[in-house]
A and B are shown apart, each in its own frame.
Chain A
Amino acid sequence: MKPTHVLKGIYALWYREFKVFLNEQSRILSAVFLPMFWYFIFGSGVGSITTTGINYQHFIFPGFLAMTIIFSSLFNGAYIVWDKKIDFLKEVLIAPLSRTTIFVGKVVGGMTDALIQAFILIIIGTVIGIPFTIVNTLYTVFILFIFTIGLVSLGLIIGSFLESPESFGLVSSFVVYPLFLLSGALYPLDTLPAWMKVLTRLDPATFAVDGLRNVILGISSMSLIHDLSVLIAFDISLILIGTWAFNRMKL
């Protein structure tokens, strides 16, 4: 296949995801408001009893950026289940595009949705006093970008195995909540009991949250290189699994 055809195919799938995204304002709103809701209520409530040395709401803000990305990236996988249901997937699978191209196009589309939502949250963060500068915003977007690749892939992999949108909701919440709650989004990583420390290190979101906290607030448990290396390894493995999953997908 010609390389231009591959790029056009990726663009085609992105085009569709983006058009649908623009049509679903309610989804954008909920994706942004859910974390803000947590931020203000949970952040104020727990913040009043903890002493982290730093404003607790500021401490958990990077966690909520990660949360937005986790929710919207994984939720994106529901679209592929939906596509199966409305038979739109047939139209895509019968096109002269390789499954890998289709997978990559879907990943790029899902990443766009998630990153737009994260961007809205960064703007809100600036307004409520999170110390964003041009430089750390660029770092933030970069980390989120790397993190999203793996997560969108994970959502698509789950979606490619499932038949009904309802079952997607169920299965994905088994993935979303552990990813979020074990990530250290809500608590510092250093003072954890040993067994929990192990669990947090198995969660790729931990490294995203740690990296974000590093670039935004200057506090972290691991080096940025360490965080990014783990995230990139996560991306590569999920892209490989995703390509495999799409190649085995039948109608």
Chain B
Amino acid sequence: MDNPIPAIEILGLKKTYGELSAVNEVHLSVGRGEIFGLLGPNGAGKTTLLMMLATLLKPTSGDARVNGYSIISQPSHVRQSIGMVFQDPSSDELLSGYENLKLHALMYDVQWKSIDHRINNVMRLVDLEHRKHDKVKTYSGGMRRRMEIARGLLHQPAVLFLDEPTLGLDPQTREHIWKYIESLARETGMTIVLTTHYMEEAEKLCQRVAIIDYGKIIALDTTQNLKNRLAGDVVTLRGKLLEIDALRGLPFVRKIELQDGRIQITIENAGKNLKSLLLAAGEIEEVQVRSSDLNDVFLHFTGKEIRETEGDTLEHIRVMTTAKQSR
């Protein structure tokens, strides 16, 4: 694990379609064993970036190194180094899970004698061992995603890419997949790079996050730092004769807002500072504490909510153009 070469090093990658730049001079480095998230709205350029790293798309300019190999001059080494779980299912549903995995093992030159053994191992990891001989068309959406995650692990890649790993899955299945990804990271220590436009997903899984919009990285830090740096925790108080001026004087208070009878206070590190805040506040009837989430962070950096902005025509056109031209 003490490999000094970063798992991924992106050196000014750029992809333009005519006037439109889908990915604009991105620089980024991802360390070994890291779970890294690319967070951004649809059409932000996340998938384009991922496809370039996976050598499926040629960059307009720039280069990147994956597991030390250049995506421009050593694509087949890069391919051997990565596992990819695509946004849309990419398995053959007429075959069984086992057959899909065997096909994959052969294409990645896994030694004959270890193929079955490895298939069993990865299928066990995603809890599909008992279904491995069933046709994929009998799997649920969540099972199929798990099978494809298992498939991505089969050749023991240095980096696993997950493109929107829980897109289109129901909330329960989503949590299930998260659990598998977490245990996978724990058990294998593998570098995982995932794209998502779900805040909870990035927050739950990723150690570091790059917020990407219009093809540019606009923020890059650990999820915790991003939140600390920005909003902190939000405490809402209700009560009589609250000592607002005293509260303003506290060093950890960032922002105080009055809203119909309540005070909303943004503070640093509620775990440590809540007690001092409450002592200073006076007579309190009700307290609510919520930690700020990535949504607040995203809002700050991009000036918009991350959820798909339906009715936002410009946005829509941009997404459509990107989709069309990347064919």
Chain A interfacial positions (CB closer than 8 Å to B):
1-2, 4-5, 8-9, 11-13, 15-16, 19-20, 23-24, 86-88, 90-98, 250-251
Residues of chain A within 8 A of B76, CB atoms compared = 1, 96, 98
From the candidates A16, A94, A97, A251, name the one contacting B92 in the complex (CB within 8 A).
A16
Shortest CB–CB separation between residue A112 and chain B, in angstroms?
16
Shortest CB–CB separation between residue B110 and chain A, in angstroms?
9
Shortest CB–CB separation between residue B102 and chain A, in angstroms?
7
Chain B interfacial positions (CB closer than 8 Å to A):
51, 54-57, 76-77, 79-80, 84, 86, 88-95, 99, 102-104, 106-109, 151, 327
Residues of chain A within 8 A of B99, CB atoms compared = 15-16, 19
Residues of chain A within 8 A of B93, CB atoms compared = 86
CB-based contact B79/A96 at 8 Å: yes
Residues of chain B within 8 A of A94, CB atoms compared = 54-56, 79, 84
CB-based contact B106/A9 at 8 Å: yes
CB-based contact B108/A91 at 8 Å: no
Known: A1-B76, A12-B103, A16-B103. A95 touches B89 (CB 8 A): no
Known: A94-B79, A96-B76. A16 touches B90 (CB 8 A): no
CB-based contact A8/B106 at 8 Å: yes
Residues of chain B within 8 A of A98, CB atoms compared = 76
- Secondary structure of the A side of the interface? helix
CB-based contact A90/B86 at 8 Å: yes
Residues of chain A within 8 A of B106, CB atoms compared = 8-9, 11-12, 15
Cα A158 to Cα B247 with chains together (Å): 73
Residues of chain A within 8 A of B80, CB atoms compared = 96
CB-based contact B109/A16 at 8 Å: no
The 6 closest A-B pairs by CB, nearest first: A12-B106, A95-B107, A96-B79, A87-B90, A5-B109, A91-B90
Cα A87 to Cα B148 with chains together (Å): 12
In the complex, the chain B residue whose C-beta lies closest to that of A9 is B107
Residues of chain B within 8 A of A91, CB atoms compared = 86, 90-91, 104, 151
A-B contact pairs, 24 of them (CB 8 A): A4-B109, A8-B107, A8-B109, A9-B106, A9-B109, A15-B99, A15-B103, A16-B95, A20-B95, A86-B89, A86-B92, A88-B91, A90-B56, A90-B86, A91-B90, A91-B91, A92-B107, A94-B56, A94-B79, A94-B84, A95-B107, A96-B77, A96-B109, A251-B57
Shortest CB–CB separation between residue A91 and chain B, in angstroms?
4
Cα A95 to Cα B76 with chains together (Å): 8
In the complex, the chain A residue whose C-beta lies closest to that of B151 is A91
- Work out how many contacts link A and B, with CB atoms closer than 8 A: 76
- Secondary structure of the B side of the interface? loop
Cα A96 to Cα B76 with chains together (Å): 5
Known: A9-B107, A86-B92. A95 touches B79 (CB 8 A): yes
Known: A15-B103, A86-B92, A87-B88. A96 touches B108 (CB 8 A): yes
Cα A93 to Cα B54 with chains together (Å): 10
Residues of chain A within 8 A of B86, CB atoms compared = 87, 90-91
Residues of chain A within 8 A of B77, CB atoms compared = 96
From the candidates B54, B56, B90, B327, name the one contacting A88 in the complex (CB within 8 A).
B90
Residues of chain A within 8 A of B89, CB atoms compared = 86-87
Shortest CB–CB separation between residue B75 and chain A, in angstroms?
8
Known: A1-B76, A93-B56, A97-B107. A20 touches B102 (CB 8 A): no
Cα A97 to Cα B102 with chains together (Å): 15
Shortest CB–CB separation between residue B251 and chain A, in angstroms?
52
CB-based contact B90/A96 at 8 Å: no
In the complex, the chain B residue whose C-beta lies closest to that of A93 is B56
Shortest CB–CB separation between residue B155 and chain A, in angstroms?
9
In the complex, the chain A residue whose C-beta lies closest to that of B135 is A23
Cα A13 to Cα B109 with chains together (Å): 13
Cα A9 to Cα B109 with chains together (Å): 8
Residues of chain A within 8 A of B91, CB atoms compared = 88, 91
Cα A20 to Cα B84 with chains together (Å): 23
Shortest CB–CB separation between residue A107 and chain B, in angstroms?
16
Extra inter-chain contacts (19) besides given A12-B103, A20-B95, A91-B91, CB under 8 Å = A4-B109, A8-B106, A9-B106, A11-B106, A12-B106, A15-B102, A19-B94, A20-B94, A23-B94, A24-B94, A90-B86, A91-B86, A91-B104, A95-B79, A95-B104, A95-B108, A96-B109, A97-B107, A250-B327
Shortest CB–CB separation between residue B86 and chain A, in angstroms?
6
Residues of chain B within 8 A of A97, CB atoms compared = 107
CB-based contact B92/A20 at 8 Å: yes
Cα A92 to Cα B79 with chains together (Å): 11
CB-based contact A251/B56 at 8 Å: yes
Cα A206 to Cα B95 with chains together (Å): 37
Residues of chain A within 8 A of B88, CB atoms compared = 87
Cα A90 to Cα B151 with chains together (Å): 13
Cα A87 to Cα B76 with chains together (Å): 20
Residues of chain A within 8 A of B57, CB atoms compared = 251
Residues of chain A within 8 A of B151, CB atoms compared = 91
Residues of chain A within 8 A of B327, CB atoms compared = 250-251
Residues of chain A within 8 A of B79, CB atoms compared = 94-96
CB-based contact A2/B109 at 8 Å: yes
From the candidates A4, A20, A96, name the one contacting B107 in the complex (CB within 8 A).
A96
Residues of chain B within 8 A of A23, CB atoms compared = 94-95
CB-based contact B90/A12 at 8 Å: no
